[in-house]
Amino acid sequence: MAHRTDRSRIGGSNIWISRLGMGTSALGGLYQPVEEEKACATIRRALELEIRYFDTAPIYGLGNSEARLGQVLPNAPRDSFVIGTRVGRPIRTLAPGEINIKQAWLGTPPDKSWEFDFSYDRVMRSLDESLKRLKLDRVDILIIHDPDNDNLFQQAMSGAYPAVDKLRREGAIGAVGVGVDRVDILAKFAREADIDCFVLPGRYTLLNQTALDDLLPLCVRRNISILNAVVYQSGMLADPKPEAMVDYSPASVDYYKKALRIKQVCDRYQVPIKAAAMQFSLAHPAVAAVLNGARSIAELEENVKMFEYQIPDDLWKELKTEKLIPMEAPIPGEQGSMPSKGAQ
């Protein structure tokens, strides 16, 4: 069983992160506002729990997530945490009279919005802006954010990737990543660029194993670490019900029925479905960490509990027998399923 203090190396870099990382989109106000002091208290508690990796982006609350991390992290020893932020969706100031687009984050600055911009110069400026909000002199991992079609992939390869690669070669950052839910796009990056890690949202979970056949084996061969995100599939694997979300959208009936069957298996073993969802998503050799968000100390502590919950082997065997997960999918504790991990 994995422990939150276990460490994973990111690709071939010198960056080591905790196997349970903290996503901070919720702390930026995703779907509901979060008071600044509550957000900062949650970050401080994460440090106390030895969660080593914090994952953020300029778009998360239009700077609020980074700024809240910047209220806490500079007060901690720099070697006590690892931080990753993103480039490619920078914040911009609205023109006079311009109407702001609807934001998924609440409590954001009223005069700000965001745009796709993967150009070399804008990536460099975006990093500088992030560092000011974070009140840090460096980030450890810089992630190209959501190049989710072929056109944006080409823009990222011609602008953003040369920029982050230069920063890595100069030692300004420790590792380069890409985050997008298109497994085909990530596979193209794996083949055409020197990438240390991928943030993979919702494509290797108990509900969706799209990445299993091609992307994850490719990552193992190329020594690219997966940071597995959205492992509750936006809600359906936290509390299966017809109105629950999958991938930030209303779920299909098929997804609901499958999640309900998974929960029934978990209930027979008295295991929370959240624990099974999180631990399954960690078991593949390509996966270095799971990134779970929290908007409160209570949610954060529940994440730790689910991460370390004792799950009997028979639960995984039954999920396979019932064809709820593929027979070839690695499961926790299975010999050969886990990468070589350990303390830094």
Indicate the Cα dihedral angle 332, 305, 3, 215, nearest 10°: 50
Q: How far apart are CA 228 and CA 198, in angstroms?
A: 8
Catalytic residue, from 31, 53, 60, 232: name it.
60
Phi (first) and psi of residue 255, to 5 degrees: -65, -40
Given a contact cutoff of 8 angstroms between Cβ atoms, the answer to whether 84 and 142 are in contact is yes
> b/e string for 294-323 if b means 16 or more Cβ within 10 A?
bbbbeebebbbebbeeebeeebbebbeeee
Instruction: For the chain, give the number of residues.
Output: 344
Q: How many CB atoms lie within 10 A of CB 106?
A: 14
As given in the structure block, the two tokens for residue 299 are 């949610």
Residue 203, amino acid = R
60 among known catalytic residues: yes
Distance between start and end Cα atoms, the chain: 18
Which residues are known to be catalytic?
60
